[in-house]
């Protein structure tokens, strides 16, 4: 579960950083990128190995303090995302500065709480910490209340956007909203736990473990929701890439026959490996091959002047492929320039998909022959 979460989180950060390089002045995109980066940095610090390493270098309790500050940064930048999305740049910046003062005040309380007690006090986890110590309880309680406020507000905003958005964007927003509201609920319950334990009460360990698991799952839902639309569009683009690459190879027999007979119809030199496997290169090569096949059919059609248009429309792909092979092998110099052009493999429906389907059928017949 941990490895899956880290992989999803790292993928989400990488995707948002890539988007940010395309639009560096987009305040909303910058905010959600920083939000995910803070979340990604806080998680390794919270793990046992990372926490012990940080505590060894910076002293006991440093890992806990860094983790909490990074979590504050996560929810702060999340709020900034909504602020930049809901208002103009000037208003958004003013609101973001006001929220920054709030979160800095919370961070100051955490730092003061951590520096006014012995470092060993913060060495334990939430479930084992001695909440009767006021500084420790204040650190956990104030952070939990701020997280509840910020995550709850963000979750409510997300619900509003999800109701107004069409699919598939609304699906990602609903997943994000569920994750945010679940995180807010978990933080609120943990704040109640802190108050209870500060007064000397006890909380069942199983209940604390359940809330901790809810928090982890809600963060995972949030990351999935934020990345849902982008991942869905990438998968759709991948399907188109696969279709075009298969189509490019599928048109090889027809293109080879026509380009050998009319080499001047070839628009460019042999494709490179990068073009063959690259995203844009595959689309360009596919459409270029379709155009070259169409040009070749226009050039070869006068060599089939013994057939009428009605004959060609009624002819199946296998027979037409045989006639094309005979016409391409005919040694009639200049005959194609002296005869009228006859439409070959023309679809009844005027669409790119229907046109490609006719070319595929003709090419498949040539391959089978």
Could you read off the pLDDT tens digit of each residue along the chain, which spans 369 residues? 567 767 777 887 888 888 888 888 888 888 888 888 888 887 776 665 555 555 555 555 667 778 888 889 988 998 888 888 877 778 888 888 889 999 999 999 988 888 887 777 766 677 777 788 888 888 888 988 999 999 998 899 889 888 888 887 888 889 989 999 999 999 999 999 888 888 888 888 888 888 888 888 988 888 788 778 878 888 888 888 889 889 999 999 989 988 888 888 887 666 665 555 566 678 888 888 888 888 888 888 777 766 666 666 656 778 888 888 887 777 655 555 555 666 666 666 666 667 788 888 888 888 886
Distance CA 60, CA 54 (A): 8
Token code pair at residue 151: 């995550």
Q: How many domains does the chain have?
A: 2
Burial status of residue 200 (CB atoms within 10 A of its CB: 0-12, 13-18, 19 or more)? exposed
Kindly list the distances between the CA atom of residue 356 and the CA atoms of 180, 286, 330, 350, in Å, as whole numbers in the listed order.
46, 10, 26, 11
The answer to whether position 243 is within a domain reads no
**Cα 63 → chain centroid:** 31
SS3 125: coil
Could you tell me if 178 and 326 lie in one domain?
no
Using the structure block, give the residue that is written with the tokens 């002819």. Answer: 315
Could you tell me if 180 and 64 lie in one domain?
yes
Could you tell me if 87 and 216 lie in one domain?
yes
The answer to whether position 238 is within a domain reads no
Q: Which residues are CB-contacts of 200 (< 8 A; sequence separation ≥ 6)?
A: 132
The answer to whether position 241 is within a domain reads no
- CATH code of the domain covering residue 90: 1.20.1070
The answer to whether position 235 is within a domain reads no
Q: Which residues are CB-contacts of 369 (< 8 A; sequence separation ≥ 6)?
A: 318, 321, 322, 325
Could you tell me if 153 and 284 lie in one domain?
no
Q: Which residue range(s) make up the domain with 292? A: 251-368
Could you tell me if 145 and 32 lie in one domain?
yes
The answer to whether position 242 is within a domain reads no
The answer to whether position 118 is within a domain reads yes
User: To which H or E segment does residue 108 belong?
Assistant: helix 89-115
Q: Which of 123, 104, 120 is nearest to 112 (CA)?
A: 104
């Amino acid at each position: 579960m941990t490895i899956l979460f880290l992989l999803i989180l790292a993928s989400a950060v990488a995707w948002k950083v890539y988007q940010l390089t395309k639009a560096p002045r987009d305040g909303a995109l910058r905010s959600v990128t920083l939000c995910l980066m803070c979340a990604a940095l806080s998680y390794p610090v919270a793990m046992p190995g990372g926490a012990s390493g940080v505590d060894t270098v910076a002293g006991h309790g440093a890992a806990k303090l860094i983790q909490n500050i990074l979590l504050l940064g996560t929810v702060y930048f999340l709020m900034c995302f909504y602020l930049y999305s809901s208002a103009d740049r000037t208003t958004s910046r003013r609101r973001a500065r006001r929220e920054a003062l709030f979160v800095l005040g919370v961070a100051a309380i955490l730092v003061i709480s951590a520096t006014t007690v012995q470092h060993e006090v913060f060495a334990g986890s939430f479930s084992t910490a001695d909440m009767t110590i006021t500084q420790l309880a204040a650190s956990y309680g104030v952070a939990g209340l701020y997280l509840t406020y910020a995550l709850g507000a963000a979750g409510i905003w997300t619900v509003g956007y999800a109701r107004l958005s069409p699919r598939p964007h609304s699906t990602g927003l609903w997943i994000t909203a569920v994750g945010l509201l679940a995180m807010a609920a978990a933080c609120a319950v943990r704040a109640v736990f802190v108050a209870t334990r500060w007064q000397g009460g006890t909380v069942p360990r199983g209940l604390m473990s359940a809330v901790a698991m809810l928090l982890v799952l809600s963060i995972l839902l949030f990351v999935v929701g934020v990345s849902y639309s982008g991942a869905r569009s990438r998968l759709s683009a991948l399907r188109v890439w696969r279709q075009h690459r298969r189509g490019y190879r599928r048109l090889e027999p027809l293109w080879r026959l026509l380009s050998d007979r009319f080499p001047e119809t070839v628009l460019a030199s042999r494709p490179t490996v990068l073009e063959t496997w690259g995203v844009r290169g595959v689309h360009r090569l596919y459409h270029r091959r379709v155009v070259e096949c169409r040009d070749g059919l226009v050039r070869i059609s006068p060599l089939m002047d013994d057939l009428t248009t009605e004959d060609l429309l009624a002819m199946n792909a296998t027979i037409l492929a045989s006639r094309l092979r005979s016409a391409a092998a005919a040694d009639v110099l200049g005959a194609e320039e002296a005869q009228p052009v006859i439409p070959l493999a023309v679809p009844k429906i005027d669409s790119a998909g229907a046109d490609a389907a006719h070319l595929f059928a003709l090419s498949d017949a040539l391959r089978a022959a």
